[in-house]
Amino acid sequence: MQSQHEETILYPYASSTSRLGSEIITSFSESGGITKVGLAGPLAVSNHDGYDEIQIVVSTENPQFVVDLLDDLFPIRYYRQFSHMDQPSGRFWLYDESPFNFVALAFYSEAEFVTAVNNGELAHGAPFREFLCSNENKISNPRRYQFTDTSEESTLSKNIEPALDAIRSVMRGEGEMTRVRDCVLELQSIQGQANSFSPALSALLQDVIQIGARLISIDIQSQKT
């Protein structure tokens, strides 16, 4: 029998994505320290499911404050910097949330933000929608999030997203199990190097491997019936 945890992470609630996006956007827009904020991807056009990431774009003079707000609202489990953008832009996995529902947080200049609003999409084509900031300054002093140096883990952690994408595609009826198996094998190989990376990454890898292994098990059982 599979544990409730295994079932939950393979079948995240469809409402999880909108819940996280709504709470984060509300917090950011009411903080007073953020100039502009918007949602990108499926959430921007209300065409999402429980497997989507939460894509947020912010314009601010104080990116650290925004990360602090996020950590205050949903404690950050693991951070991975975008390869094409400066820290703190990156992916933020959250404690007690599905690995699928990480926050992809990008910091734009005000000019870049306005361009995205006018185009209705980001440079890579993701739909984009701005939310008005009320500047009510409801949260002015969140706890400070301490970034740890994960640069030595980048080669290892970069395999997480392809594995999640492969699983996500199969669950949506669009992908192949062969890719899921390959990704899980790759993660298991990486997991063997556990002494070379942080406990946070190790735990995240284990969750993603669990998700993939559960899906593989279901696929094997379906072929027997």
List pLDDT tens digits, range 162-203.
Answer: 999 999 999 999 999 999 999 999 999 888 776 678 889 999
Q: pLDDT-derived band of residue 13, with 50, 70 and 90 as boundaries?
A: confident
What is d(CA 101, CA 17) in angstroms, rounded to the nearest whole number?
6
The pLDDT value recorded for residue 10 is 82
CATH number of the domain where residue 91 is located = 3.30.460.10
Long-range contacts formed by 190-197: CB under 8 A, 24+ apart: 190/156, 190/159, 193/156, 196/152, 196/153, 196/156, 197/152, 197/153, 197/156, 197/157
pTM: 0.92
Closest CA to 106 of 76, 135, 82: 82
Structural domain count of the chain: 2
Last residue of one domain, picked from the residues 82, 99, 131: 131
Task: Clarify whether residues 158 and 102 are in a common domain.
Answer: no
Is the pLDDT at 101 greater than 50? The verdict is yes
Task: Clarify whether residues 20 and 127 are in a common domain.
Answer: yes
| Residue numbers of the domain that contains 21 | 4-131
What is d(CA 84, CA 1) in angstroms, rounded to the nearest whole number?
43
